[in-house]
Structure 1
Protein backbone atom coordinates (compact mmCIF):
# COMPACT_ATOMS: atom_id res chain seq x y z
CA UNK A 1 0.00 0.00 0.00
CA UNK A 2 2.78 2.50 -0.48
CA UNK A 3 3.35 4.67 -3.56
CA UNK A 4 1.34 6.72 -5.87
CA UNK A 5 3.79 8.57 -7.99
CA UNK A 6 5.97 6.19 -9.74
CA UNK A 7 5.56 5.37 -13.33
CA UNK A 8 3.07 8.13 -13.73
CA UNK A 9 5.48 10.62 -12.17
CA UNK A 10 8.90 9.12 -12.69
CA UNK A 11 8.12 7.77 -16.15
CA UNK A 12 6.46 11.04 -17.08
CA UNK A 13 9.39 13.02 -15.69
CA UNK A 14 11.86 10.88 -17.64
CA UNK A 15 9.89 11.12 -20.90
CA UNK A 16 9.24 14.82 -20.44
CA UNK A 17 12.88 15.72 -19.69
CA UNK A 18 14.15 13.52 -22.51
CA UNK A 19 11.69 15.07 -24.97
CA UNK A 20 12.46 18.62 -23.83
CA UNK A 21 16.20 18.12 -24.09
CA UNK A 22 15.88 16.38 -27.46
CA UNK A 23 13.82 19.22 -28.93
CA UNK A 24 16.19 21.83 -27.50
CA UNK A 25 19.20 20.03 -28.97
CA UNK A 26 17.46 19.70 -32.35
CA UNK A 27 16.66 23.42 -32.24
CA UNK A 28 20.27 24.26 -31.37
CA UNK A 29 22.03 21.91 -33.81
CA UNK A 30 19.74 22.20 -36.81
CA UNK A 31 18.40 25.71 -36.23
CA UNK A 32 14.81 24.48 -36.11
CA UNK A 33 12.71 27.25 -34.59
CA UNK A 34 9.51 25.42 -33.53
CA UNK A 35 7.96 28.89 -33.70
CA UNK A 36 9.03 29.74 -30.17
CA UNK A 37 11.61 32.39 -31.08
CA UNK A 38 11.21 35.19 -33.59
CA UNK A 39 14.54 36.91 -33.92
CA UNK A 40 15.20 38.91 -30.80
CA UNK A 41 11.52 38.74 -29.81
CA UNK A 42 9.74 36.01 -27.88
CA UNK A 43 6.35 34.97 -29.25
CA UNK A 44 4.47 34.10 -26.05
CA UNK A 45 1.34 32.75 -27.76
CA UNK A 46 3.25 30.33 -29.97
CA UNK A 47 5.54 29.42 -27.09
CA UNK A 48 2.56 28.46 -24.93
CA UNK A 49 1.14 26.19 -27.67
CA UNK A 50 4.58 24.60 -28.07
CA UNK A 51 4.78 24.15 -24.28
CA UNK A 52 1.40 22.41 -24.18
CA UNK A 53 2.38 20.00 -26.94
CA UNK A 54 5.65 19.08 -25.22
CA UNK A 55 4.12 19.08 -21.73
CA UNK A 56 1.16 16.84 -22.45
CA UNK A 57 3.17 14.52 -24.73
CA UNK A 58 5.24 13.34 -21.76
CA UNK A 59 2.26 12.67 -19.50
CA UNK A 60 0.12 11.05 -22.22
CA UNK A 61 2.96 8.79 -23.35
CA UNK A 62 3.57 7.65 -19.76
CA UNK A 63 -0.16 7.04 -19.31
CA UNK A 64 -0.36 4.95 -22.49
CA UNK A 65 2.67 2.93 -21.43
CA UNK A 66 1.64 2.51 -17.78
CA UNK A 67 0.05 -0.94 -17.90
CA UNK A 68 2.64 -2.46 -20.20
CA UNK A 69 5.48 -1.06 -18.12
CA UNK A 70 3.85 -2.32 -14.92
CA UNK A 71 3.63 -5.85 -16.29
CA UNK A 72 7.25 -5.79 -17.42
CA UNK A 73 8.84 -4.02 -14.44
CA UNK A 74 6.96 -5.92 -11.73
CA UNK A 75 7.14 -9.37 -13.33
CA UNK A 76 3.38 -9.80 -13.05
CA UNK A 77 1.80 -13.22 -13.28
CA UNK A 78 -1.46 -12.43 -15.02
CA UNK A 79 -4.55 -14.38 -14.03
CA UNK A 80 -6.96 -15.70 -16.64
CA UNK A 81 -10.14 -14.23 -15.19
CA UNK A 82 -12.26 -16.73 -17.14
CA UNK A 83 -10.25 -19.76 -16.00
CA UNK A 84 -8.39 -19.19 -12.73
CA UNK A 85 -5.70 -21.82 -12.21
CA UNK A 86 -6.17 -22.41 -8.48
CA UNK A 87 -8.17 -21.42 -5.40
CA UNK A 88 -6.09 -18.29 -4.72
CA UNK A 89 -6.53 -17.01 -8.27
CA UNK A 90 -10.24 -17.82 -8.15
CA UNK A 91 -10.57 -15.92 -4.87
CA UNK A 92 -8.80 -12.82 -6.22
CA UNK A 93 -10.85 -12.84 -9.43
CA UNK A 94 -14.10 -13.19 -7.47
CA UNK A 95 -13.16 -10.30 -5.15
CA UNK A 96 -12.13 -8.01 -7.99
CA UNK A 97 -15.21 -8.90 -10.03
CA UNK A 98 -17.60 -8.30 -7.10
CA UNK A 99 -15.96 -5.02 -6.09
CA UNK A 100 -15.72 -3.68 -9.63
CA UNK A 101 -19.42 -4.42 -10.14
CA UNK A 102 -20.22 -2.68 -6.88
CA UNK A 103 -18.10 0.30 -7.94
CA UNK A 104 -19.76 0.38 -11.37
CA UNK A 105 -16.59 -0.13 -13.43
CA UNK A 106 -15.62 -2.79 -16.01
CA UNK A 107 -13.74 -5.82 -14.74
CA UNK A 108 -10.01 -4.98 -14.50
CA UNK A 109 -7.19 -7.35 -15.35
CA UNK A 110 -5.83 -9.13 -12.29
CA UNK A 111 -2.23 -10.01 -11.50
CA UNK A 112 0.06 -11.31 -8.76
CA UNK A 113 3.74 -10.53 -8.29
CA UNK A 114 6.44 -11.66 -5.89
CA UNK A 115 7.51 -9.06 -3.38
CA UNK A 116 7.03 -7.41 -0.02
CA UNK A 117 3.53 -6.30 1.06
CA UNK A 118 2.13 -3.98 -1.59
CA UNK A 119 -0.55 -3.59 -4.25
CA UNK A 120 -1.31 -1.21 -7.09
CA UNK A 121 -3.74 -0.27 -9.82
CA UNK A 122 -2.86 1.18 -13.19
CA UNK A 123 -4.22 1.60 -16.72
CA UNK A 124 -5.11 4.44 -19.05
CA UNK A 125 -8.89 4.21 -18.57
CA UNK A 126 -11.47 2.51 -16.37
CA UNK A 127 -12.13 -0.02 -19.12
CA UNK A 128 -8.44 -0.96 -19.47
CA UNK A 129 -7.34 -1.08 -15.85
CA UNK A 130 -5.18 -3.53 -13.96
CA UNK A 131 -5.18 -4.46 -10.27
CA UNK A 132 -2.25 -6.40 -8.82
CA UNK A 133 -1.32 -7.61 -5.35
CA UNK A 134 1.97 -8.98 -4.02
CA UNK A 135 2.56 -12.39 -2.52
CA UNK A 136 3.90 -10.64 0.58
CA UNK A 137 0.61 -8.81 1.11
CA UNK A 138 -1.38 -12.02 0.70
CA UNK A 139 0.81 -13.75 3.28
CA UNK A 140 0.47 -11.20 6.10
CA UNK A 141 -3.18 -10.14 5.77
CA UNK A 142 -6.45 -11.86 6.50
CA UNK A 143 -9.23 -11.90 3.93
CA UNK A 144 -11.00 -8.77 5.12
CA UNK A 145 -7.74 -6.81 4.97
CA UNK A 146 -6.84 -8.14 1.52
CA UNK A 147 -10.29 -7.21 0.26
CA UNK A 148 -9.98 -3.72 1.74
CA UNK A 149 -6.67 -3.23 -0.06
CA UNK A 150 -8.21 -4.38 -3.34
CA UNK A 151 -11.17 -2.06 -2.71
CA UNK A 152 -8.70 0.80 -2.28
CA UNK A 153 -7.22 0.05 -5.71
CA UNK A 154 -10.67 -0.34 -7.26
CA UNK A 155 -11.50 3.10 -5.86
CA UNK A 156 -8.49 4.58 -7.66
CA UNK A 157 -9.83 3.13 -10.91
CA UNK A 158 -13.41 4.31 -10.26
CA UNK A 159 -12.22 7.81 -9.35
CA UNK A 160 -10.28 8.09 -12.60
CA UNK A 161 -7.17 9.00 -10.65
CA UNK A 162 -4.78 7.84 -13.38
CA UNK A 163 -6.29 10.25 -15.91
CA UNK A 164 -6.57 13.05 -13.34
CA UNK A 165 -2.91 12.67 -12.44
CA UNK A 166 -1.99 12.65 -16.12
CA UNK A 167 -3.86 15.89 -16.78
CA UNK A 168 -2.30 17.57 -13.75
CA UNK A 169 1.16 16.42 -14.79
CA UNK A 170 0.52 17.72 -18.30
CA UNK A 171 -0.44 21.14 -16.94
CA UNK A 172 2.65 21.23 -14.73
CA UNK A 173 4.88 20.15 -17.63
CA UNK A 174 3.39 22.91 -19.77
CA UNK A 175 4.34 25.61 -17.28
CA UNK A 176 7.80 24.09 -16.82
CA UNK A 177 8.50 24.37 -20.56
CA UNK A 178 6.88 27.80 -20.81
CA UNK A 179 8.78 29.44 -17.96
CA UNK A 180 12.09 27.71 -18.65
CA UNK A 181 12.05 29.16 -22.20
CA UNK A 182 11.08 32.63 -20.99
CA UNK A 183 13.85 32.62 -18.39
CA UNK A 184 16.26 31.20 -20.96
CA UNK A 185 15.37 34.03 -23.33
CA UNK A 186 15.92 36.63 -20.58
CA UNK A 187 19.32 35.13 -19.70
CA UNK A 188 20.33 35.00 -23.35
CA UNK A 189 19.13 38.46 -24.37
CA UNK A 190 19.21 40.58 -21.25
CA UNK A 191 22.09 39.11 -19.23
CA UNK A 192 24.43 37.68 -21.86
CA UNK A 193 23.42 40.37 -24.37
CA UNK A 194 23.09 38.06 -27.36
CA UNK A 195 22.27 40.29 -30.34
CA UNK A 196 22.15 37.60 -33.01
CA UNK A 197 18.92 36.86 -34.85
CA UNK A 198 18.58 33.39 -33.32
CA UNK A 199 18.84 32.23 -29.69
CA UNK A 200 22.31 31.79 -28.23
CA UNK A 201 23.95 29.20 -26.03
CA UNK A 202 22.63 30.91 -22.87
CA UNK A 203 19.07 30.21 -23.97
CA UNK A 204 19.73 26.54 -24.68
CA UNK A 205 21.68 25.78 -21.51
CA UNK A 206 19.28 27.68 -19.27
CA UNK A 207 16.25 25.97 -20.83
CA UNK A 208 17.68 22.48 -20.35
CA UNK A 209 18.79 23.11 -16.75
CA UNK A 210 15.41 24.61 -15.84
CA UNK A 211 13.50 21.79 -17.55
CA UNK A 212 15.20 19.41 -15.12
CA UNK A 213 15.06 21.62 -12.00
CA UNK A 214 11.49 22.84 -12.50
CA UNK A 215 10.45 19.33 -13.53
CA UNK A 216 11.36 18.05 -10.08
CA UNK A 217 9.52 20.95 -8.44
CA UNK A 218 6.45 20.13 -10.55
CA UNK A 219 6.69 16.53 -9.36
CA UNK A 220 6.38 17.77 -5.78
CA UNK A 221 3.06 19.41 -6.67
CA UNK A 222 1.81 16.22 -8.31
CA UNK A 223 2.96 14.20 -5.31
CA UNK A 224 1.02 16.51 -2.99
CA UNK A 225 -2.12 16.00 -5.07
CA UNK A 226 -1.48 12.26 -5.03
CA UNK A 227 -1.42 12.29 -1.23
CA UNK A 228 -4.77 14.09 -1.27
CA UNK A 229 -6.27 11.44 -3.58
CA UNK A 230 -5.19 8.65 -1.23
CA UNK A 231 -7.70 9.80 1.36
CA UNK A 232 -10.45 9.51 -1.24
CA UNK A 233 -9.35 6.01 -2.22
CA UNK A 234 -9.33 4.99 1.45
CA UNK A 235 -12.84 6.41 1.86
CA UNK A 236 -13.92 4.62 -1.32
CA UNK A 237 -12.59 1.34 0.06
CA UNK A 238 -14.58 1.88 3.25
CA UNK A 239 -17.69 2.46 1.16
CA UNK A 240 -17.18 -0.68 -0.90
CA UNK A 241 -16.48 -2.76 2.21
CA UNK A 242 -19.41 -1.25 4.11
CA UNK A 243 -17.14 -0.28 6.99
CA UNK A 244 -13.87 1.54 7.55
CA UNK A 245 -12.63 -1.16 9.96
CA UNK A 246 -11.04 -3.51 7.35
CA UNK A 247 -9.17 -0.61 5.74
CA UNK A 248 -7.96 0.63 9.13
CA UNK A 249 -6.82 -2.89 10.05
CA UNK A 250 -4.98 -3.24 6.72
CA UNK A 251 -3.21 0.08 7.24
CA UNK A 252 -2.22 -0.88 10.77
CA UNK A 253 -0.90 -4.19 9.48
CA UNK A 254 1.21 -2.35 6.93
CA UNK A 255 2.43 0.02 9.59
CA UNK A 256 4.23 -2.88 11.21
CA UNK A 257 6.15 -4.03 8.12
CA UNK A 258 8.74 -2.50 5.84
CA UNK A 259 7.14 -2.52 2.35
CA UNK A 260 9.39 -2.33 -0.66
CA UNK A 261 8.87 0.58 -3.03
CA UNK A 262 7.06 -0.13 -6.25
CA UNK A 263 8.83 0.44 -9.51
CA UNK A 264 8.54 3.77 -11.28
CA UNK A 265 5.22 3.90 -13.09
CA UNK A 266 3.15 1.83 -10.70
CA UNK A 267 4.33 3.70 -7.63
CA UNK A 268 1.57 6.24 -7.99
CA UNK A 269 -1.27 3.80 -7.55
CA UNK A 270 0.13 1.50 -4.91
CA UNK A 271 -1.45 0.91 -1.54
CA UNK A 272 1.65 1.84 0.40
CA UNK A 273 3.32 5.24 0.21
CA UNK A 274 6.25 7.39 1.13
CA UNK A 275 7.17 8.62 4.57
CA UNK A 276 6.52 12.36 4.55
CA UNK A 277 9.01 13.75 2.06
CA UNK A 278 7.94 16.29 -0.54
CA UNK A 279 8.03 13.53 -3.14
CA UNK A 280 5.97 11.07 -1.07
CA UNK A 281 2.95 9.86 -2.97
CA UNK A 282 1.01 8.83 0.16
CA UNK A 283 0.20 10.48 3.49
CA UNK A 284 1.47 8.77 6.63
CA UNK A 285 -0.40 5.69 7.78
CA UNK A 286 -1.35 7.44 11.04
CA UNK A 287 -2.92 10.33 9.12
CA UNK A 288 -4.87 7.95 6.90
CA UNK A 289 -6.17 5.96 9.85
CA UNK A 290 -7.18 9.15 11.63
CA UNK A 291 -9.09 10.36 8.56
CA UNK A 292 -10.99 7.08 8.35
CA UNK A 293 -11.79 7.05 12.06
CA UNK A 294 -13.06 10.62 12.08
CA UNK A 295 -15.45 9.94 9.21
CA UNK A 296 -16.86 6.91 11.07
CA UNK A 297 -17.87 4.80 8.07
Structure 2
Protein backbone atom coordinates (compact mmCIF):
# COMPACT_ATOMS: atom_id res chain seq x y z
CA UNK A 1 0.00 0.00 0.00
CA UNK A 2 2.88 2.36 0.83
CA UNK A 3 4.51 1.66 -2.55
CA UNK A 4 1.21 2.11 -4.41
CA UNK A 5 0.55 5.43 -2.70
CA UNK A 6 4.03 6.66 -3.56
CA UNK A 7 3.68 5.57 -7.20
CA UNK A 8 0.34 7.37 -7.51
CA UNK A 9 1.69 10.57 -5.95
CA UNK A 10 4.80 10.46 -8.15
CA UNK A 11 2.59 10.01 -11.22
CA UNK A 12 0.47 12.95 -10.07
CA UNK A 13 3.57 15.11 -9.70
CA UNK A 14 4.77 14.20 -13.19
CA UNK A 15 1.31 14.88 -14.62
CA UNK A 16 1.28 18.27 -12.88
CA UNK A 17 4.61 19.13 -14.47
CA UNK A 18 3.38 18.14 -17.93
CA UNK A 19 0.10 20.00 -17.44
CA UNK A 20 2.01 23.16 -16.57
CA UNK A 21 4.11 22.67 -19.68
CA UNK A 22 0.95 22.26 -21.76
CA UNK A 23 -0.62 25.40 -20.26
CA UNK A 24 2.45 27.45 -21.13
CA UNK A 25 3.31 25.95 -24.50
CA UNK A 26 0.61 23.60 -25.73
CA UNK A 27 1.38 19.99 -26.68
CA UNK A 28 4.94 20.95 -27.56
CA UNK A 29 5.39 22.46 -24.12
CA UNK A 30 4.17 19.25 -22.48
CA UNK A 31 6.69 17.19 -24.47
CA UNK A 32 9.52 19.58 -23.62
CA UNK A 33 8.54 19.48 -19.93
CA UNK A 34 8.66 15.69 -19.97
CA UNK A 35 12.08 15.66 -21.67
CA UNK A 36 13.48 18.18 -19.18
CA UNK A 37 12.21 16.13 -16.23
CA UNK A 38 13.71 12.97 -17.71
CA UNK A 39 17.07 14.67 -18.24
CA UNK A 40 17.19 16.05 -14.72
CA UNK A 41 16.25 12.71 -13.23
CA UNK A 42 18.94 10.94 -15.26
CA UNK A 43 21.57 13.38 -14.02
CA UNK A 44 20.51 13.11 -10.37
CA UNK A 45 20.25 9.30 -10.65
CA UNK A 46 23.99 9.09 -11.24
CA UNK A 47 25.25 12.11 -9.29
CA UNK A 48 22.87 12.89 -6.39
CA UNK A 49 24.99 11.10 -3.76
CA UNK A 50 28.17 12.90 -4.82
CA UNK A 51 26.42 16.28 -4.76
CA UNK A 52 24.83 15.71 -1.33
CA UNK A 53 28.03 14.45 0.31
CA UNK A 54 30.14 17.26 -1.13
CA UNK A 55 27.54 19.80 0.00
CA UNK A 56 28.09 18.61 3.58
CA UNK A 57 31.90 18.25 3.32
CA UNK A 58 31.38 14.65 4.44
CA UNK A 59 34.49 12.56 5.12
CA UNK A 60 34.45 8.84 4.36
CA UNK A 61 35.57 6.62 7.26
CA UNK A 62 36.47 2.96 7.61
CA UNK A 63 37.13 0.26 10.17
CA UNK A 64 40.61 1.61 10.86
CA UNK A 65 39.81 5.30 11.32
CA UNK A 66 36.48 4.94 13.17
CA UNK A 67 36.11 1.30 14.24
CA UNK A 68 33.22 1.78 16.68
CA UNK A 69 30.90 3.65 14.33
CA UNK A 70 31.86 1.68 11.21
CA UNK A 71 31.33 -1.66 12.94
CA UNK A 72 27.96 -0.51 14.24
CA UNK A 73 26.79 0.32 10.70
CA UNK A 74 28.24 -2.93 9.33
CA UNK A 75 26.38 -5.00 11.91
CA UNK A 76 23.09 -3.22 11.18
CA UNK A 77 23.55 -3.63 7.41
CA UNK A 78 24.14 -7.35 7.86
CA UNK A 79 21.10 -7.63 10.10
CA UNK A 80 19.00 -5.83 7.49
CA UNK A 81 20.27 -8.02 4.63
CA UNK A 82 21.95 -5.06 2.91
CA UNK A 83 25.31 -4.60 1.17
CA UNK A 84 27.76 -2.59 3.26
CA UNK A 85 27.21 1.11 2.43
CA UNK A 86 29.93 3.73 2.36
CA UNK A 87 30.09 5.44 5.75
CA UNK A 88 30.66 9.16 6.27
CA UNK A 89 31.03 11.56 9.18
CA UNK A 90 30.21 15.26 8.94
CA UNK A 91 32.00 17.69 11.24
CA UNK A 92 28.91 19.62 12.33
CA UNK A 93 27.43 20.42 15.73
CA UNK A 94 23.81 20.01 14.59
CA UNK A 95 22.78 16.41 15.41
CA UNK A 96 21.49 14.66 12.31
CA UNK A 97 21.98 11.82 9.83
CA UNK A 98 20.92 10.90 6.30
CA UNK A 99 21.24 8.26 3.60
CA UNK A 100 21.87 8.76 -0.10
CA UNK A 101 22.61 6.74 -3.24
CA UNK A 102 20.67 5.39 -6.20
CA UNK A 103 20.28 1.82 -4.88
CA UNK A 104 21.40 -0.43 -2.00
CA UNK A 105 24.53 -1.44 -3.92
CA UNK A 106 25.62 2.21 -4.27
CA UNK A 107 24.42 3.66 -0.98
CA UNK A 108 26.06 5.87 1.61
CA UNK A 109 25.05 6.83 5.14
CA UNK A 110 26.29 9.82 7.08
CA UNK A 111 26.06 11.14 10.62
CA UNK A 112 27.21 14.40 12.15
CA UNK A 113 29.72 14.59 14.98
CA UNK A 114 27.02 16.37 16.97
CA UNK A 115 24.76 13.32 16.73
CA UNK A 116 27.49 10.86 17.68
CA UNK A 117 28.48 12.95 20.71
CA UNK A 118 24.94 13.55 21.95
CA UNK A 119 23.28 10.14 21.63
CA UNK A 120 23.88 6.86 23.42
CA UNK A 121 25.02 3.83 21.45
CA UNK A 122 21.50 2.36 21.40
CA UNK A 123 20.12 5.64 20.08
CA UNK A 124 22.81 5.87 17.38
CA UNK A 125 21.91 2.31 16.36
CA UNK A 126 18.27 3.33 16.06
CA UNK A 127 19.13 6.35 13.90
CA UNK A 128 21.47 4.48 11.55
CA UNK A 129 19.00 1.61 11.26
CA UNK A 130 16.39 4.18 10.18
CA UNK A 131 18.76 5.42 7.46
CA UNK A 132 19.48 1.87 6.33
CA UNK A 133 15.73 1.26 6.13
CA UNK A 134 15.55 4.17 3.68
CA UNK A 135 18.23 2.42 1.63
CA UNK A 136 16.43 -0.92 1.81
CA UNK A 137 13.13 0.67 0.72
CA UNK A 138 14.95 2.55 -2.08
CA UNK A 139 13.61 5.80 -0.67
CA UNK A 140 16.83 7.63 -1.54
CA UNK A 141 16.15 7.21 -5.27
CA UNK A 142 12.42 7.98 -4.95
CA UNK A 143 13.00 11.14 -2.95
CA UNK A 144 15.68 12.30 -5.39
CA UNK A 145 13.23 11.90 -8.27
CA UNK A 146 10.50 13.71 -6.34
CA UNK A 147 12.77 16.61 -5.41
CA UNK A 148 13.95 16.88 -9.01
CA UNK A 149 10.46 17.02 -10.52
CA UNK A 150 9.20 19.41 -7.83
CA UNK A 151 12.18 21.66 -8.50
CA UNK A 152 11.48 21.50 -12.24
CA UNK A 153 7.86 22.55 -11.63
CA UNK A 154 9.03 25.63 -9.73
CA UNK A 155 11.60 26.40 -12.43
CA UNK A 156 9.00 26.11 -15.20
CA UNK A 157 6.52 28.23 -13.24
CA UNK A 158 9.12 30.99 -12.85
CA UNK A 159 9.85 30.74 -16.56
CA UNK A 160 6.14 31.10 -17.28
CA UNK A 161 5.91 34.35 -15.33
CA UNK A 162 8.24 36.07 -17.78
CA UNK A 163 7.57 34.22 -21.03
CA UNK A 164 3.82 33.87 -21.30
CA UNK A 165 2.04 33.16 -24.59
CA UNK A 166 -0.31 36.10 -25.16
CA UNK A 167 -2.50 33.96 -27.42
CA UNK A 168 -3.50 31.80 -24.46
CA UNK A 169 -5.92 32.64 -21.67
CA UNK A 170 -3.82 34.88 -19.38
CA UNK A 171 -5.89 34.05 -16.31
CA UNK A 172 -5.48 30.31 -16.81
CA UNK A 173 -1.77 30.77 -17.34
CA UNK A 174 -1.33 32.88 -14.21
CA UNK A 175 -3.40 30.42 -12.17
CA UNK A 176 -1.27 27.50 -13.37
CA UNK A 177 1.97 29.36 -12.68
CA UNK A 178 0.91 30.30 -9.14
CA UNK A 179 -0.80 27.06 -8.13
CA UNK A 180 1.57 24.49 -9.67
CA UNK A 181 4.57 25.05 -7.32
CA UNK A 182 2.31 24.93 -4.26
CA UNK A 183 0.63 21.74 -5.49
CA UNK A 184 4.05 20.20 -6.18
CA UNK A 185 5.16 21.03 -2.65
CA UNK A 186 2.06 19.35 -1.20
CA UNK A 187 2.66 16.17 -3.23
CA UNK A 188 6.35 16.18 -2.27
CA UNK A 189 5.46 16.45 1.42
CA UNK A 190 2.90 13.65 1.14
CA UNK A 191 5.43 11.28 -0.44
CA UNK A 192 8.22 12.12 1.99
CA UNK A 193 6.05 11.84 5.10
CA UNK A 194 4.82 8.42 3.97
CA UNK A 195 8.39 7.21 3.52
CA UNK A 196 9.51 8.51 6.93
CA UNK A 197 6.94 6.44 8.81
CA UNK A 198 8.04 3.41 6.80
CA UNK A 199 11.71 4.03 7.60
CA UNK A 200 10.94 4.42 11.31
CA UNK A 201 9.24 1.02 11.37
CA UNK A 202 11.90 -0.58 9.19
CA UNK A 203 14.69 0.89 11.30
CA UNK A 204 13.09 -0.35 14.51
CA UNK A 205 12.86 -3.83 13.00
CA UNK A 206 16.53 -3.79 11.94
CA UNK A 207 17.83 -2.53 15.28
CA UNK A 208 15.21 -4.31 17.40
CA UNK A 209 15.03 -1.14 19.54
CA UNK A 210 12.01 1.00 18.66
CA UNK A 211 12.18 2.88 21.96
CA UNK A 212 15.84 3.77 21.36
CA UNK A 213 14.89 5.31 18.01
CA UNK A 214 11.97 7.14 19.66
CA UNK A 215 14.34 8.52 22.29
CA UNK A 216 16.81 9.60 19.60
CA UNK A 217 14.09 11.41 17.63
CA UNK A 218 13.03 13.31 20.75
CA UNK A 219 16.58 14.36 21.58
CA UNK A 220 17.44 15.37 18.00
CA UNK A 221 14.20 17.34 17.60
CA UNK A 222 14.94 19.15 20.85
CA UNK A 223 18.20 20.47 19.41
CA UNK A 224 17.33 20.81 15.71
CA UNK A 225 16.05 24.37 16.02
CA UNK A 226 18.62 25.50 18.59
CA UNK A 227 21.84 24.56 16.83
CA UNK A 228 22.46 26.30 13.47
CA UNK A 229 22.82 24.06 10.43
CA UNK A 230 25.00 25.89 7.90
CA UNK A 231 24.04 23.58 5.03
CA UNK A 232 20.31 24.23 5.47
CA UNK A 233 20.95 27.94 5.83
CA UNK A 234 22.63 27.90 2.41
CA UNK A 235 20.21 25.42 0.82
CA UNK A 236 16.84 24.97 2.60
CA UNK A 237 15.98 21.99 0.35
CA UNK A 238 18.64 19.98 2.17
CA UNK A 239 16.40 19.80 5.24
CA UNK A 240 14.40 16.96 3.71
CA UNK A 241 17.50 14.73 3.78
CA UNK A 242 17.71 14.46 7.55
CA UNK A 243 16.06 12.10 10.00
CA UNK A 244 14.66 15.23 11.71
CA UNK A 245 14.56 18.41 9.58
CA UNK A 246 15.99 21.66 10.89
CA UNK A 247 15.16 25.24 9.99
CA UNK A 248 11.76 24.34 8.48
CA UNK A 249 8.33 25.33 9.78
CA UNK A 250 6.16 22.36 10.72
CA UNK A 251 3.49 23.31 8.17
CA UNK A 252 5.97 23.06 5.31
CA UNK A 253 8.06 20.19 6.63
CA UNK A 254 8.63 17.14 4.45
CA UNK A 255 8.63 15.02 7.64
CA UNK A 256 5.72 13.94 9.85
CA UNK A 257 5.32 15.50 13.27
CA UNK A 258 8.03 14.07 15.51
CA UNK A 259 5.50 13.40 18.27
CA UNK A 260 3.44 11.26 15.90
CA UNK A 261 6.56 9.30 14.90
CA UNK A 262 7.46 8.70 18.54
CA UNK A 263 3.91 7.56 19.31
CA UNK A 264 4.03 5.06 16.43
CA UNK A 265 7.36 3.66 17.67
CA UNK A 266 6.03 3.37 21.22
CA UNK A 267 3.02 1.49 19.87
CA UNK A 268 5.40 -0.81 17.99
CA UNK A 269 7.34 -1.42 21.20
CA UNK A 270 4.06 -2.29 22.88
CA UNK A 271 3.42 -4.91 20.20
CA UNK A 272 6.76 -6.48 21.12
CA UNK A 273 6.07 -6.36 24.86
CA UNK A 274 5.47 -10.11 25.05
CA UNK A 275 9.14 -10.67 24.25
CA UNK A 276 10.92 -7.43 25.16
CA UNK A 277 14.48 -7.10 23.96
CA UNK A 278 17.03 -6.23 26.67
CA UNK A 279 18.09 -2.61 26.57
CA UNK A 280 21.48 -1.30 27.55
CA UNK A 281 22.30 2.32 28.08
CA UNK A 282 25.70 2.41 26.42
CA UNK A 283 27.81 5.52 26.07
CA UNK A 284 28.01 8.06 23.31
CA UNK A 285 30.13 7.04 20.34
CA UNK A 286 33.44 8.83 19.89
CA UNK A 287 33.25 10.64 16.52
CA UNK A 288 37.05 10.77 16.44
CA UNK A 289 37.26 6.99 16.42
CA UNK A 290 38.94 6.49 19.79
CA UNK A 291 37.20 3.19 20.52
Same fold per superposition (TM over 0.5): yes
Task: Return the alpha-carbon distance in structure 2 between the equivalents of residues 60 and 158 of structure 1.
Answer: 21
Deviation of residue 185 (structure 1)?
9.9
Task: Return the alpha-carbon distance in structure 2 between the equivalents of residues 271 and 247 of structure 1.
Answer: 11
Deviation of residue 162 (structure 1)?
1.6
Tell me which of 71, 89, 94 is aligned to 2:71.
Answer: 94
Deviation of residue 65 (structure 1)?
2.7
Which residue is 1:50 aligned to? 32
Cα gap change, 1:65/1:267 in structure 2, threshold over 3 Å: closer, same or farther?
farther
Cα gap change, 1:165/1:70 in structure 2, threshold over 3 Å: closer, same or farther?
closer
Deviation of residue 164 (structure 1)?
1.7
SS at match of 2:252: coil
Deviation of residue 271 (structure 1)?
1.3
Task: Return the alpha-carbon distance in structure 1 between the equivalents of residues 178 and 38 of structure 2.
Answer: 16
**Can you give the 5+ residue segments of structure 2 that lack an aligned partner in the other structure?**
1-16, 273-291
Q: Please list, as runs of the form range in 1=range in 2, the aligned pairs for 1:173-188 lying within 5 A after superposition.
A: 188=166
Deviation of residue 70 (structure 1)?
2.3
SS at match of 1:110: strand
Structure 2 residue 217 is the aligned partner of structure 1 residue 239? no
Deviations 1:272-293 (A, max 9, x none): 1256534312122211101112
Cα gap change, 1:218/1:241 in structure 2, threshold over 3 Å: closer, same or farther?
same
Which residue is 2:98 aligned to? 120
**Can you give the 5+ residue segments of structure 1 that lack an aligned partner in the other structure?**
1-16, 18-23, 25-35, 193-201
Deviation of residue 66 (structure 1)?
2.1
SS at match of 1:253: helix
Cα gap change, 1:160/1:84 in structure 2, threshold over 3 Å: closer, same or farther?
same
Deviation of residue 186 (structure 1)?
8.6
TM-score, normalised to structure 1, is 0.68
Deviations 1:55-92 (A, max 9, x none): 2323443343322222222111211x3x522xxx1111
Which residue is 1:273 aligned to? 245
Would the aligned equivalents of 2:124 and 2:216 in 1 still touch at CA under 8 Å?
Answer: yes
Cα gap change, 1:254/1:240 in structure 2, threshold over 3 Å: closer, same or farther?
same
Structure 2 residue 210 is the aligned partner of structure 1 residue 230? no
Would the aligned equivalents of 1:121 and 1:266 in 2 still touch at CA under 8 Å?
Answer: no
Would the aligned equivalents of 1:76 and 1:113 in 2 still touch at CA under 8 Å?
Answer: yes
SS at match of 2:245: coil
Cα gap change, 1:183/1:212 in structure 2, threshold over 3 Å: closer, same or farther?
closer
Task: Return the alpha-carbon distance in structure 2 between the equivalents of residues 124 and 259 of structure 1.
Answer: 30
Structure 2 residue 149 is the aligned partner of structure 1 residue 161? no
Structure showing greater radius of gyration is 1
Task: Return the alpha-carbon distance in structure 2 between the equivalents of residues 130 and 222 of structure 1.
Answer: 23
Which residue is 2:118 aligned to? 140
Which residue is 1:14 aligned to? none
Cα gap change, 1:191/1:152 in structure 2, threshold over 3 Å: closer, same or farther?
closer
Deviations 1:97-154 (A, max 9, x none): 1111222221111111111111111112221111111111111111000111110111
Number of residue pairs matched?
A: 241
TM-score, normalised to structure 2, is 0.69
